Amino acid sequence: MSTTESKSELFTVVGANITVEQGSRPVTSRKIVTAFERYIQPCLAELVGCTLFVFVGCGSVIENTLVPGNIQPALAHGLALAIVIAVLGPISGGHFNPAVSVSVCVSGGLELLLLGPYILSQMVGGMIGAGLAKAVFPKNVYASAEGGAFDTVETSNGIGRATVAEMVMTLFLSLMVCMGAINARTRTPLAPLCVGLTVTANILAGGSISGGCMNPARAFGPAVAANYWTYHWIYWVGPVTGALISGSLVRLMLGDQKTRLLLK
């Protein structure tokens, strides 16, 4: 690259090494990743993916008022998440969940600088997805399901159970993300499927206790659209606590030698 060209690349960051052939010997060069690809594009991917995921999630809950049960929401959430992770994951890592972003950041898979923008993008995506669901469903059907918001906990008696359920289910989910997509030793190309199946299994197991949220953005979007805030804090405290525990487990004990901070 000439001096003129290098001066024009004002918003670039250095990426991975690339080996190319020059004459009779290989020469190692540096892959240039633009700031757009490193900082802006991942946030856009998180916004778009979270929008689609929350729209499908809210829609499945609203549709489910006709024949109540956990199977339809469990399959819809799991399939939608697996799809958006498979397609958009190579751009952003495929979090689409503030709790997952916290866990990945703690385990060393996300720059701290990007944590805030990721969470903001996910929250905005959640509101857009919930708003789209509100726009397409009839008002009476939408209102009967509180717009897909989490209304499972109706009395204070269920607060403790719901919070613990959200913590454990999110721990399971975020651990699958960190071990299946971040940790080099256990990383697998089947990570999108594994994460989607984890969400499906969690909703089938704990949907009647807390609704099976595991995602503050999934809770926040429909809460804004439907103005339903009853016990909303559960869907922040439970998932974030579970994410911190799973991230710590990976960072301290379960991660590979590069990831672990102790017992190397």
Across-strand partners of 20? 27
For residue 236, CA distances in Å to 105, 112, 162, 230, 243 come to 17, 19, 12, 13, 11
Least confident of 123-127, 134-138, 172-176, 258-262: 258-262
- The superfamily CATH assigns to domain 38-254 is Glycerol uptake facilitator protein. (1.20.1080.10)
Instruction: Please give the pLDDT value at position 30.
Output: 56
Q: What is the mean pLDDT of residues 99-109?
A: 96
8-44 pLDDT, tens digit each: 333 333 344 444 444 555 544 456 778 899 899 999 9
Instruction: Please give the pLDDT value at position 197.
Output: 97
Instruction: Please give the pLDDT value at position 49.
Output: 98
Instruction: Please give the pLDDT value at position 64.
Output: 86
Where is pLDDT greater, at 165 or 156?
A: 165
Contact 75, 197 (CB under 8 A): no
For residue 174, CA distances in Å to 23, 55, 94, 253 come to 47, 21, 12, 15
Binning pLDDT at 50, 70 and 90, where does residue 262 land? Answer: confident
- Beta-carbon contacts of 122 under 8 Å, excluding residues fewer than 6 positions away, are 46, 47, 50, 95, 96, 97, 98, 101, 217
Q: What is the mean pLDDT of residues 112-134?
A: 97
Binning pLDDT at 50, 70 and 90, where does residue 154 land? Answer: confident
185-244 pLDDT, tens digit each: 999 999 999 999 999 999 999 999 999 999 999 999 999 999 999 999 999 999 999 999
Instruction: Please give the pLDDT value at position 3.
Output: 44
Least confident of 49-58, 91-100, 111-120, 151-160: 151-160
Rounded to 5 degrees, what are φ and ψ at 41? -60, -45
Binning pLDDT at 50, 70 and 90, where does residue 60 land? Answer: very high
On the 0-12 / 13-18 / 19+ scale of CB atoms within 10 A, 262 is exposed
- In single-letter form, the type of residue at position 157 comes to N
- Cα 187 to Cα 203: distance, rounded to the nearest angstrom: 24
Q: What is the mean pLDDT of residues 63-82?
A: 89
- Cα 67 to Cα 95: distance, rounded to the nearest angstrom: 30
What is the pLDDT of the chain when averaged over all its residues? 88
Domain boundaries, the chain: 3-34, 38-254
